[in-house]
Chains A and B, each alone.
Chain A
Amino acid sequence: MRGGWRLWGIVIVLPVLHFLLHVGLGASRWSPDLLTVALLVGARELRTGTAAGLGFVFGILEDAFSVLAFGANALAMTVLGILGARSREVFVGDSLLFLISYLALGKWFRDLLHWLVSSPEVRGALMDDLVVDGAVGAGYAAVVGAFVVLVVGVWREPVA
């Protein structure tokens, strides 16, 4: 197993925190998408199959509350897990800028996938969901995710 206890701590604790904030406290309006952050961070360290499985589990958990598009989160997160794991072979970066960009782009791409998979009658307007909400959500998740990753110390390389 790669990553060590810190990585698995993030992969377990962030989703628990995500559901605690979104479901337990009902504070979804101001809570970042920690589930996607956990997957993106985990996927950079895990093998492709494991990352896909992790994405599937996260997605299906979120789909448990989805009457409108069951399975959309599972598919989006599985694809994101695969792409996150494969991104090691394409993008190599250690800087804080890379970390924030990776998290922001990953979160935005996850929203795009969910939007594409959801049926047209349930999804919102492209401009609202992806350009406005998507951009803000991606930025928020990236900043929070980068903070968590740096504090926990999963980002092992020196930050530029």
Chain B
Amino acid sequence: MPTYETEGGQGTGRRQGTLAGLFLVLAVVALYLPGPAQEGVASALRGSVLLPFISAQQGIVDARIRTAEVEALQARLDSTLAAMSVQRPLADENRRLRELLSLRDRAGPSFVPATVVRPGTRGSESMFVLDAGSEAGVSVNDPVVSADGLLGVVREVQARSAIAMDWTHPDFRVSAMSVDGEVYGLVEPSRGAFREADRLLLSGTPYHSEVRDSTLIVTSGRGSVYPRGIAIGRVHSLHEAQDGWRKSYWLLPAVTPAAATHVLVMTGGPDRVDADEEVPYWGLASDEGEEPASEQDSDGTPQAQEGLEVEPEGT
């Protein structure tokens, strides 16, 4: 470190002051840039200077998945194969019946597997980088799910990567319902004292409808972003009952963001969200007034509680 040293001459000092002021103005401009412009700058930096660091974490996460989680993945594969072997005849039967009834094939969502990379820098909480982008079919507002349920939604897409926010983001909102379709509401995040204590809040539910503790809350399919039936969380306790006209409940999230390493992106855009077409994929009734979902629906798809481990084939 130097001992006392001045900026030099008066001219140099003025130039340095002007330069400092210029950078200060640039920083303020960056802070108040419109969202798309901020995303453009951030995207350019992530795709150039910071790309080696992101690639390094992707490699590490991939290696970790290949080693530490082999047993868990093997178990999931086994359960998937077992479920699929049972479903195959049901799927064939379903296909024949649809042909007899002249029903068109269900389009259904397609899933793009992706690895989650968390930057871990200040201000990057609630967001993560996916190693799949537009080349793989990922687009903005595609839901990101794990085997346990809904993790978040894609915010920005580049060719080979995407930025997504998880449910702890202050802007996160999802229309939700109880798994039996009886109670509808809006799920939003609620900050805890520490980030690990973040929770979800189901608000706007009718006052006279009782939602029991541990009831599974799933997406309702309203709002053209999230398909119906993705697990969001389970009711933990009553938050408040407002003057006899509505209630809100604390939810225990189905997915812990920090624990998510390997996820699926549901591609297909807004066309994907067609309740009549999508509901059977998540084992839920399509009409609000219908009976609660049975153990397996007509084409043998397991219930939403079983999450995404099983994808029906040919339905």
Contacts and interface: CB of A to CB of B under 8 A. Distances in A.
Interface string A81-124: 11001001100101000010000000000000010011001101
Nearest to A118: B123
Contacts of B60: 24-26
B266 to A, nearest CB: 20
B273 to A, nearest CB: 24
A111 to B, nearest CB: 8
B170 interface: yes
B1 A154 contact: yes
A82 B124 contact: no
Nearest to B125: A68
B155 interface: yes
A157 B1 CA distance: 7
B260 to A, nearest CB: 13
Q: Which of A65, A66, A79, A154 has the most CB of B within 10 A?
A: A65
A11 interface: no
B123 A72 contact: yes
Interface in A108-160: 114, 117-118, 121-122, 124-125, 128, 149, 154-157
Contact of A44 (B2, B57, B163): B2
Contacts of A89: 4, 6
B165 to A, nearest CB: 6
Interface string B1-39: 111111110001101111110111011111111000010
Contact of A23 (B19, B119, B125): B119
Interface stretch (B48-56, B91-99, B201-209, B243-251): B48-56
B150 interface: no
A125 B194 CA distance: 9
Interface in A45-93: 45, 47-53, 55-56, 59-75, 77-79, 81-82, 85, 88-89, 92
B289 interface: no
Nearest to A79: B24
B26 A56 contact: yes
Contact of B50 (A23, A59, A69): A23
Contacts of A26: 57, 60-61, 117-118, 120
B74 to A, nearest CB: 24
A130 to B, nearest CB: 13
A65 B16 contact: no
Contact of B124 (A45, A56, A66, A94): A66
A33 B121 CA distance: 9
B191 interface: yes
Contacts of B31: 69-72, 74-75, 117
**Which of B42, B52, B194 is the most central at the interface, judged by chain A CB atoms within 10 Å of its CB?**
B42
A36 B61 CA distance: 27
Contacts of B119: 22-23, 28, 65
Nearest to A115: B122
A56 B24 CA distance: 8
24 contacts: A20-B56, A23-B56, A23-B120, A25-B56, A45-B1, A47-B7, A49-B20, A49-B23, A56-B23, A64-B50, A65-B46, A71-B27, A71-B31, A73-B122, A81-B20, A81-B23, A82-B20, A88-B2, A88-B5, A114-B122, A124-B191, A125-B193, A149-B1, A156-B1
Interface of B: 1-8, 12-13, 15-20, 22-24, 26-33, 38, 41-42, 45-46, 49-50, 52-54, 56-57, 60-61, 117-127, 129, 155, 163, 165, 169-170, 191, 193-195
